[in-house]
Amino acid sequence: MSFSAWLKKHYDEKGQALWLAFFLEVVASVVLFILMALTCVDVVGRYVFNSPLHGGTELTEIGLAVMVFAAMPVVTWRGGHIVVDLLDRFLGSVIVKVLALFAALVMSSSLYFLAWRIFELGERSIGRGVVTEFLGM
């Protein structure tokens, strides 16, 4: 079985969305594995050798941000968020669909606003020459 056929079998997305979802999931998975190894090395270094990994906390913070923002679009696209549907059986199906659309719009606009603010803060930090405390990144 070719890789492309495997993707089409295991993913519901079509066309470019399939490749984008796969790429974002690979990024999130690789970063998660790196965070696991980084934390393991940091803990062993701290408690066995009394020498923690220099900048481990900063790398963990950056990795968590990358992992969350790589996985969030795929989870949102697939509707994989946790949903509390206590009122769905009392409301009509049209109202439930309208509420789902409203929730998707709120989520999309919130993520857009958050990304826009992070980009602005990043530009300002680059302009001022601000770097991380330990690693100078």
DSSP-derived secondary structure for 61-92: HHHHHHHHHHHHHHHHHHT-S----SSTTTS-
Per-residue pLDDT of the chain (137 residues; tens, 9 = 90+): 788 888 788 777 888 888 888 899 999 999 999 999 999 999 999 999 988 888 888 999 999 999 998 998 888 888 887 888 888 888 888 998 998 889 889 988 988 998 899 899 989 988 998 888 777 77
d(CA 63, CA 57): 10
- The domain segmentation of the chain, as residue ranges, is 1-78, 83-137
Report pTM.
Answer: 0.75
